[in-house]
């Protein structure tokens, strides 16, 4: 076998330590060439040693040694799946809920049994005073808030335009514009100070589809998408990324009243031919919250089996 060129490393020398003198001679040029690259990686991504996301995808930097994620509307459905995925990747999870304490407690138990850490925080995230208190309690418990997942939602009116009231539109804006504003406004100063933050909004593919009788919901979700793009430009220089995950119809318990005919009609229009599951959204959010997505901001990741292309 020909001798290796300078700057190359033979697999045999690395794995077995054979010909140690030759290994050291060959490795020196490699290390010298790689050190500047390693310095850039460490500075920009933080995952080379002791920071960011380790080789297994674990979130390992934060005020308490692990990054802390707040997931709003997290007791069940998409929020529960997002919380579980973030906890699996090593984040401490603040489970926000408003009414269903039993479901939130069950989610915390599942995360704890799997070796993660999660705590419950009951709060109305459309109320300014409640958001202030929520943030303070999370920081007191975990030390910081590094990842913000804006998932909470409310009833979505199915009304023709002639029956739609301005109050119906405002109710949607409460969840998808006011609440994100309150939470981001409170969390950003700490993220900016640490030079790191991940904000992930849970949007919807209705922004592209524009379904009939859903104009209040579509308008509010469109406004939410605009917030993502504007905040991404504003906060990017401070190491904070802002993105949206836009699910298609992902059946959860809130859809239990929808019959098989409507379900079959929907899946027939999906190129992949089936529904997604909440874990699909959890994985998308976990990716955007990690350092693997450090150079992605202002984007909408649509998760709907190809129902619409954005």
Q: Which residues are catalytic?
A: 217
Instruction: Round to whole Å and give the CA distance between 181 and 10.
Output: 54
Instruction: Round to whole Å and give the CA distance between 283 and 305.
Output: 14
Asked if 303 contacts 281 with a C-beta cutoff of 8 angstroms, the reply is yes
Asked if 103 contacts 79 with a C-beta cutoff of 8 angstroms, the reply is no
Angle between helices 215-235 and 179-194 (to 10 degrees): 20
Phi, psi dihedrals of residue 273, rounded to the nearest 5° = 80, 15
Residue 78, class by beta-carbon neighbours within 10 Å (0-12 exposed, 13-18 middle, 19+ buried)? Answer: buried
Asked if 286 contacts 200 with a C-beta cutoff of 8 angstroms, the reply is no
């Amino acid at each position: 076998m020909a001798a290796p060129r300078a700057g190359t490393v033979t697999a045999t020398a690395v794995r077995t330590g054979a010909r140690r003198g030759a290994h050291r001679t060959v490795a020196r040029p490699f290390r010298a060439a790689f050190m500047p690259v390693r310095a850039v990686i460490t500075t920009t991504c933080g995952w080379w040693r002791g920071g960011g996301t380790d080789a297994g995808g674990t979130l390992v930097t934060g005020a308490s040694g692990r990054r802390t994620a707040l997931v709003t509307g997290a007791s069940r459905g998409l929020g529960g799946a997002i919380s579980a995925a973030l906890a699996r990747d090593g984040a401490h999870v603040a489970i926000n809920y408003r009414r269903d304490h039993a479901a939130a407690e069950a989610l915390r138990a599942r995360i704890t049994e799997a070796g993660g850490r999660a705590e419950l925080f009951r709060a109305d995230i459309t109320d300014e005073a409640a958001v202030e208190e929520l943030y303070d309690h999370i920081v007191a418990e975990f030390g910081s808030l590094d990842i913000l997942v804006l998932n909470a939602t409310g009833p979505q009116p199915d009304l023709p335009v002639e029956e739609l009231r301005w109050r119906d539109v405002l109710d949607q804006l409460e969840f998808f514009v006011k609440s994100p504003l309150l939470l981001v406004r409170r969390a950003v100063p700490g993220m900016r100070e640490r030079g790191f933050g991940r904000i992930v909004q849970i949007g919807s593919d209705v922004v592209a589809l524009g379904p009939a009788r859903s104009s209040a919901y579509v308008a509010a979700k469109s406004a939410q998408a605009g917030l993502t793009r504007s905040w991404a430009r504003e906060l990017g220089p401070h190491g904070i990324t802002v993105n949206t995950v836009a699910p298609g119809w992902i059946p959860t318990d809130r859809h239990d009243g929808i019959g098989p005919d409507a379900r079959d009609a929907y899946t027939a229009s999906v190129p992949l031919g089936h529904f997604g599951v909440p874990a699909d959204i959890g994985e998308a959010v976990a990716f955007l919250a990690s350092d693997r997505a450090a150079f992605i901001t202002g984007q909408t990741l649509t998760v709907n089996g190809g129902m619409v292309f954005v």
